[in-house]
């Protein structure tokens, strides 16, 4: 009776006193249900992890946990697979409770044992992330930690995500980052229970993916003669050649690594605009074949776009065929944003095509272009995503909208019964300043503080329940014009990406800004062990030529 009364007291304390939950249960993203319990589980001298079943993915997760525990505690941790449980260890138990879905889990911690229950391996992975966050932060270290009490506070957690799509984008067109950093980026996506890495692989300033049939895309398109120095308004350049691309073997390596971390990689191949790098390599697919195109050296939007000719569509379809073979993701992103129409309006061919196809204008021509690509991607058994400009001239039948120019595009798509992913720039663009620009290294502009990202609700109150089902989730975007190094990317992305991770996972009514900040204070210690150069870290690394601070 006393234990029951104490448990009720703990539950009440957890509900009314956020500080209590923050110190004992600093889990990010916040779980759907967490019931505090009396006591704690003390890691035994020789921990045992039991996997109920023979699923190799679960065995791998258990062994990764055992290796982590062994590395930082020095304890000899064993893994056993089969139809049994241990009374004083950690248990992975398969569930037949379908309400958990693919990503949900139960986590029960008692003084005697820990049980992670899920229906699918992804659920076990997310349950494991929560378990690690209940341990001392030293569990994220790479060497043995001395004089640590290895305990886990008792509790019961029932958890599953609010949205199916929870993503983070990285632009490698403007600046190129090595495979090692791409893997670290995926690690951080997975750590925060996000499930999608949107890889922006092509742009005016660089083509970063090897295409075997068109080798000039990387021989020419991945190289620019120089890069803007300082802010765009300064119109200065460093005079240094810049380049880089990922081989198909490296792409496969990244995709496989992401799969092991339950992250889907969605490639983006920009069209019909943001095409300067591609046209520098293959000018015949532009609107002015005699023009000498160059890979972009300044930031911003270029007039050079693909010509909507049959040979251009064959060129793009052959590129997409190789891309689809490399990426098993359900979705293929084709960009579709910021496509100037002046070259089409000046082109006799385009004007004749508009008349031939019964189109109204160049905006309709963009819709025609996107529909052609959508039809091809659909024929390959995949789905197309495009930025919200593809709504102009009428949305393509199978397209999913990524709404960036505010929320209106996503709302309109949902009302038309099309799926949408919400990534409005005022909440989700992580290239904006996060505090007063006068105190920060150069950024593109705008101001999106942590609190604003956290406050975002992706599902508009203007949608009916049926329409709201078309809001698939939320994504943070990292555009890298002013991020020449991976340290810079980390500084701009984190901790705002963590706020968006909670936006995507946690039920809206459970979110609380001050509670989140308190849990984040503890979480930052984990990031320190993981050597993440987040904004506000004790010792931020200096950035390259954008440092010192902007005057």
Known catalytic residues are: 203, 274, 338
Tell me how crowded residue 380 is: count the other CB atoms within 10 A of its CB: 14
Decide: 153 and 133 in contact? Cβ < 8 Å.
no
Alpha helices in 327-421 (DSSP H): 342-346, 348-356, 362-379, 408-415
Rounded CA separation 107/124 (Å):
9
Tokens of 70: 């062994």
- The 8-class DSSP code of residue 289 comes to T
Rounded CA separation 333/38 (Å):
49
Helix (H, G, I), strand (E, B) or coil at 23: helix
Helix (H, G, I), strand (E, B) or coil at 34: strand
Rounded CA separation 141/61 (Å):
18
The residue to which tokens 């209940």 are assigned: 134
Rounded CA separation 365/345 (Å):
10
The DSSP result for 94-108, as a single string, is E---GGGTTT-EEEE
Closest CA to 65 of 85, 91, 84: 91
Helix (H, G, I), strand (E, B) or coil at 109: strand
User: Pairing relation of β-strands 151-159 and 105-109?
Assistant: antiparallel
Rounded CA separation 242/225 (Å):
6
Helix (H, G, I), strand (E, B) or coil at 180: helix
Helix (H, G, I), strand (E, B) or coil at 167: strand
């Amino acid at each position: 009776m006393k234990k029951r009364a104490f448990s009720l007291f703990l539950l009440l304390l957890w509900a009314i006193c956020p500080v209590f939950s923050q110190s004992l249960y600093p889990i990010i993203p916040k779980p759907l249900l967490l019931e505090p319990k009396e006591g704690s589980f003390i890691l035994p001298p020789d921990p045992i992890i039991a996997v109920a079943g023979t699923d190799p993915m679960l065995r791998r997760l258990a062994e990764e946990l055992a290796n982590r525990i062994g590395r930082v505690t020095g304890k000899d941790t064993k893994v056993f697979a089969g139809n049994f449980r241990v009374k004083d260890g950690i248990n992975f138990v398969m569930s037949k409770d379908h309400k958990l879905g693919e990503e949900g889990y139960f986590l029960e911690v008692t003084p005697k044992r820990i049980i992670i229950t899920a229906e699918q391996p992804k659920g076990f992975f997310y349950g494991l992330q929560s378990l690690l966050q209940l341990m001392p932060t030293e569990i994220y270290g790479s060497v043995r930690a001395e004089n640590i009490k290895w305990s886990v506070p008792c509790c019961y957690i029932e958890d599953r995500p609010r949205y199916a799509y929870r993503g983070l984008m990285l632009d490698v067109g403007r600046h190129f980052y090595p495979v090692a950093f791409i893997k670290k980026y995926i690690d951080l996506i997975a750590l925060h229970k996000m499930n999608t890495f949107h890889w922006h692989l092509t742009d005016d300033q660089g083509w970063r993916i090897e295409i075997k049939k068109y080798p000039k895309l990387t021989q020419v398109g991945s190289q620019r003669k120089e890069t803007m120095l300082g802010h765009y308004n300064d119109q200065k350049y460093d005079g240094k050649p810049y380049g880089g691309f990922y081989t198909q073997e490296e792409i496969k390596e990244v995709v496989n690594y992401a799969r092991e971390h339950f992250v889907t990689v969605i490639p983006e191949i920009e069209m019909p605009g943001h095409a300067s790098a591609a046209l520098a390599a293959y000018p015949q697919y532009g609107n002015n074949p005699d023009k000498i195109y160059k890979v972009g050296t300044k930031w911003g939007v270029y007039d050079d776009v693909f010509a909507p000719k049959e040979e251009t569509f064959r060129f793009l379809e052959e590129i997409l065929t190789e891309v689809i073979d490399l990426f098993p993701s359900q979705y293929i992103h084709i960009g579709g944003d910021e496509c100037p129409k002046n070259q089409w309006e000046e082109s006799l061919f385009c004007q004749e095509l508009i008349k031939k196809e019964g189109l109204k204008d160049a905006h309709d021509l963009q819709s025609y272009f996107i529909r052609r690509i959508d039809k091809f991607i659909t024929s390959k058994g995949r789905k197309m995503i495009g930025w919200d400009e593809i709504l102009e001239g009428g949305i393509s039948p199978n397209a999913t909208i990524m709404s960036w120019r505010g929320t209106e595009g996503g709302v309109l798509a949902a009302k038309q019964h099309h799926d949408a992913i919400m990534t409005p720039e005022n909440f989700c663009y992580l290239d904006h300043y996060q505090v007063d620009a006068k105190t920060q290294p150069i950024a593109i502009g705008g101001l999106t503080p942590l609190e604003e990202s956290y406050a975002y609700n992706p599902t508009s109150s203007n949608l009916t329940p049926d329409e709201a089902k078309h809001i698939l989730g939320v994504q943070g975007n990292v555009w890298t014009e002013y991020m020449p190094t991976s340290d810079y990317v980390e500084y701009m992305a984190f901790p705002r990406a963590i706020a968006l991770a909670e936006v995507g996972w946690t039920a809206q009514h459970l979110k609380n800004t001050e509670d989140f900040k308190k849990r984040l204070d503890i979480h930052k210690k984990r990031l320190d062990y993981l050597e993440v150069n987040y904004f506000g870290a004790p010792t931020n690394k200096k950035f390259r030529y954008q440092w010192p601070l902007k005057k």
